Amino acid sequence: MKNPTIHSASPPGKPGLAVIAAKPAGKFGVGAGVGLLVIFAACELLFGLMTALPGAVFVSAIFYGIAVLIGMRGLHQGYPHAALGLCNLVTLVRLVIVAILCAALLGAISPTWTTFALASFALALDGIDGWLARKQGLASDFGARFDVEVDAAFALILAMYAATNGAAGPWVILLGVPYYLFVFTGRYLPWLNGALPPRFSRKAVCVFQIAALIALQVPLLADGRLDPVIIAVAAALVWSFGRDILWLWRTKI
């Protein structure tokens, strides 16, 4: 009798799809594919964008795809664990929400309770992925970097949203660019790429930044009355980045 499993075996040296999907990068890819479908579905069900303005959705999907490819590259370059873990999947869910908000921004959707709920959910998840990484013993440089990159994209999208929909003055977009300005400057000042000591205050400022930008998605508050809060956020960002830059300057080799 023929072995019924022999025909499903993979060629020598080539892992099967099931084996690939079980690896961290494979699970990340499967999760990213599901996330892409969620983006298309949510943009249509929540905002009708697939019908009214599909271009906005596809541009957002391209942004999402680029972010996923960068994430896959990070996994291949040095992820130290055999399991991907729920922590990184939660961060991926946050990236999906950011992509949906990006489509709403490109589709000129005014601030609604829906955009506020989506942004609030993404912020709530931000406190879960790190906790899961520590609980599961899956903390990694990749996970920390992935989390920071999603936070930065989230802040930029919210700041652009607030700047273009009248929720605040155009200057509010500056709240979304400090991280990217820091990274860009690091290309020319290599000492800025040094390792920073972990600080709770850095994360607290990030949460304050995003929470304030989310508040601008509340229809009742998107009228300029939150300008003093935005100024306070700007001051907190200057203090946080300034302290890190000063520390890197003092400890550079």
Which DSSP string corresponds to 42-74?
A: HHHHHH-HHHH-HHHHHHHHHHHHHHHHHHHHH
pLDDT digit string (tens) for 80-120? 999 999 999 999 999 999 999 999 999 998 888 899 999 99
Under DSSP, the state recorded for 162 is H
| Residue keyed to tokens 């302290």 | 243
Question: Residues 183-205, buried b or exposed e (16+ Cβ, 10 A)?
Answer: eeeeeeeeebeeeeeeeeeebeb
Residues ≥6 apart with Cβ < 8 Å to 149: 67, 70
Answer with the residue of higher pLDDT: 169 or 248.
Answer: 248
Q: Can you say whether the dihedral through the CA atoms of 200, 117, 87, 184 is positive or negative?
A: negative
d(C-alpha 238, C-alpha 246), whole Å? 12
- Structure-block tokens of residue 77: 């370059």
pLDDT digit string (tens) for 172-210? 888 999 999 999 999 999 999 988 888 889 989 999 999
* pLDDT reported for residue 220: 77
Phi, psi of 5 (to 5 degrees): -100, -10
Taken in order of first residue, the domains within the chain and their CATH numbers are 22-251 (1.20.120)
